[in-house]
A and B are shown apart, each in its own frame.
Chain A
Amino acid sequence: MALLTCEDLSLGYEGKAILEHVTFSVNNGDYLCIVGENGSGKSTLMKTILGLRKPLHGTITTGEGLRQNEIGYLPQQTVVQRDFPASVLEIVRSGCQGRQGLRPFYTKAEKKLARDNIRRMGLDDLTRRCYRDLSGGQQQRVLLARALCATGKLLLLDEPVSGLDPKVTAEMYQLISDLNRRERITVIMISHDLGAALKYASHILHIGARVWFGTREDYLQSSVGTAFLQLGGVEQ
């Protein structure tokens, strides 16, 4: 059984569909990139998978023991976060929050998990630093460490490299790719960057007027894929 299965999803606002008949599934260890034009509903799809909004039609099921709240999420940064007075440690620990229930403190295991993820993201020296004083790339790594505290299985990344310079962008992609290949963490990523999507992803979900889902190799041969590639000007 797949880790996550979406069947015949329709998404939209106030009963008006902006995206229809989306069917795809993600297996353990996959790296799925969701591509499509602006306004095609990529972020809405992400929010629906996370359970932040209900689909107009269709079902989302999780399998292999994955619970709805075990999905790690890397959201796009909000204005509020940019000047937020919080230490790296506080933010990473808050990834454990979902499992806490009514317990008002973090357990030893949760604190250790936070420490481990800080190390994993190479943030050891920045533990006590303030989030707002970090560079864009460091901030993204902090949020990734937090997402890893919430999950060991599935990461959802919403435009993880937006606003980063080319060098940091490449490092970020490498980091995500390592998590996927070495630690077998399943990745679902929204991306504007078709070049990177085709370089790292194992599967592609193209949404828009036509919905297409399949492996990267098939996408490069498909009519949807070739048309979108020409539009984006990316060389194969």
Chain B
Amino acid sequence: MTLEAYLGLPYVQKALLVGVLISMCTALLGVTLVLRRFSFIGDGLSHVAFGAMTVAAVVGLTNDMLLVMPVTIVCAVLLLSVGQHAKVKGDASVAMISVGALAVGYLLMNLFPPSGRSNITGDVCTTLFGGTSILTLQPQEVTLSIVLSIVVVVFFLFFYHKIFAVTFDESFATATGTKTRLYNLLLAIIIAVVIVLAMKLVGSLLISALVVFPALSAMRLFKSFRSVTICAACLSVICTVAGFLSAAMFSTPVGSTIVVANIAVFALFTLGGLIFRRS
């Protein structure tokens, strides 16, 4: 099949649209997450979501989102807003929750294999790498992704200066009257929702990559918060499209191809950054 014919397929178009929207959201959120030393939260929260999904499967919930979403949101809030003052600090608490949830989830899956599903390793693999699920999207999933992306972008535009203030210096912002607790809470909820949705579509491996790579690449070259944010969002979208198309051309897995595209851009920007600093 030629690339044009492939792109003509409705389900491929939907997948591309959703991929672009999600990568834009994760890149926007990624800037503040990376700067606050929470790069691994994407990984951590998607493992939490995985753990919650297995619990939902064992209990026999038909709509597992009812359990997965609240659990992930609670973990995100705990990590981001309470985490700053907790005894176990940032990276350690993310690692703890992430590994813990993954282990418990896998254990439960083995102890109580969900009926009708025999391939546990396959299930785990799909959760991590997303498999082909982005190509088999349901119409309501597409709608949900579009609505959510709009919410994230509007939130980001509306609270842009607050997000900057809270990211740069939380104590100063609090002391001068910014409601940092509220913004941290909102940010945590949005991050959790984006990660749960993105995980079902592209897998937890890709989420972490989409959170950290665009932000880090942009920081190599750009020197203001605004340019870094805009650049990260653009890079993320470009890499997703490029990765998606190459995956189609060379029949490689979509998720990992997008990650490789991000790695290539990061390498390029690092090089660019070095050259700029010299001159």
Contact = CB atoms under 8 A, between A and B. Distances in A.
Contacts of B117: none
A199 B171 CA distance: 29
Contacts of B36: 80
Question: Most chain-B CB neighbours within 10 Å: which of A97, A98, A104?
Answer: A97
Interface string B115-156: 000000000000000000000000000000000000000000
Interface in B151-210: 157-162, 164-165, 167-169, 171-178
A68 B167 CA distance: 22
Nearest to A132: B223
Contacts of A90: 164, 224-226
Contact of B161 (A72, A105, A133): A105
Contacts of A104: 157-161
Contact of B225 (A71, A86, A147): A86
A104 B162 CA distance: 8
B176 to A, nearest CB: 3
The B interface is mostly helix, strand or loop, or mixed, namely helix
A73 interface: yes
Contact of A71 (B160, B162, B176, B178): B176
A27 B225 CA distance: 38
A97 B161 contact: yes
Contacts of B178: 97-98, 100
A152 interface: no
A84 B165 CA distance: 12
Nearest to A104: B158
Contacts, number: 94
Interface residues of A, number: 38
A75 B172 contact: yes
Interface residues of B, number: 30
B169 A100 contact: no
A81 B169 CA distance: 8
B278 interface: no
Contacts of B158: 104
Interface stretch (A46-54, A200-208, A226-234): A46-54
Question: Most chain-B CB neighbours within 10 Å: which of A68, A80, A89?
Answer: A80
A114 to B, nearest CB: 12
A85 B223 contact: yes
B49 interface: no
B176 A95 contact: yes
A80 B84 CA distance: 13
Interface in A116-165: 128-130, 133, 146-147, 150
B92 to A, nearest CB: 15
A40 interface: no
B249 interface: no
A66 to B, nearest CB: 13
Contacts of A89: 224
Contacts of B176: 69, 71-73, 95, 97-98, 150
B208 to A, nearest CB: 20
B223 A97 contact: no
Contact of B175 (A52, A93, A94): A52
Contacts of B165: 94, 97
The 3 closest A-B pairs by CB, nearest first: A69-B177, A98-B176, A98-B177
Given A73-B176, A89-B224, 6 more contacts: A50-B174, A69-B175, A85-B223, A85-B228, A86-B164, A100-B162
Interface of A: 47, 50-52, 68-69, 71-73, 75, 78-81, 84-87, 89-91, 93-95, 97-100, 104-106, 128-130, 133, 146-147, 150
